[in-house]
Amino acid sequence: MSAFRPIRLSLPVLVGTALVTIMASIASVTHFTRPDPVIPGAGTVIASRDILFSDRADGGVEVTNATDGKVIAELDPQSNNFVRALMRGLVRQRVRESLGPEVPFRLTAFSDGELTLEDPATHRSVSIGAFGTSNAEAFVKMLPLKAIHYES
């Protein structure tokens, strides 16, 4: 007759196991979860702009029109966190592929309400509208047609 005997583990072993499990879960999610390529629906392009992002000395970010070099937005430090996070993710992909910042990103609004940010350098595209209206509005302000109001 075999009796079940509990195994005693020390607290450091339990904590270490839990941390390894959590880190592995996070790593697998960040590695395997990528924004799906956006295939615009039946909408036509109503506004598009090629834009460049550059860091300022004060920690802010300057957004410029890649065509004429004019500043279209200045993101102050500690503001526009969604824009910053999205751009960090796209730039991180460029770094992984040993690509530089010279190729501009393309921001496009479609008549069917779709709003996308594409990286022609890595061929990644993100549907900004999937992140909510207020986050989309931060990007809409960078488009040439200021009359656009985003509604998801």
Q: What is the pLDDT of residues 62-81, one digit of tens each?
A: 899 999 999 998 888 888 88
Q: What is the pLDDT of residue 30?
A: 53
User: Is 94 a residue whose pLDDT tops 50?
Assistant: yes
User: Is 146 a residue whose pLDDT tops 60?
Assistant: no
Q: What is the mean pLDDT of the chain?
A: 80
User: Is 113 a residue whose pLDDT tops 60?
Assistant: yes
The pairing of beta strand 71-75 with beta strand 124-127? unpaired
Cβ count near 41 (within 10 Å): 10
How does 140-152 read in b/e, with b if 16+ C-beta sit within 10 Å? bebbeeeeeebee
User: Is 36 a residue whose pLDDT tops 60?
Assistant: no
Burial label for 83, CB within 10 Å (0-12, 13-18, 19+), is: buried
Q: What is the pLDDT of residue 35?
A: 46
User: Is 15 a residue whose pLDDT tops 80?
Assistant: no
Helices 81-96 & 133-140 angle (0-180, nearest 10): 70
Burial label for 10, CB within 10 Å (0-12, 13-18, 19+), is: exposed
Q: What is the pTM of this model?
A: 0.66
Coil, helix or strand for 79? coil
User: Is 100 a residue whose pLDDT tops 50?
Assistant: yes
Beta bridge partners of 75: 61
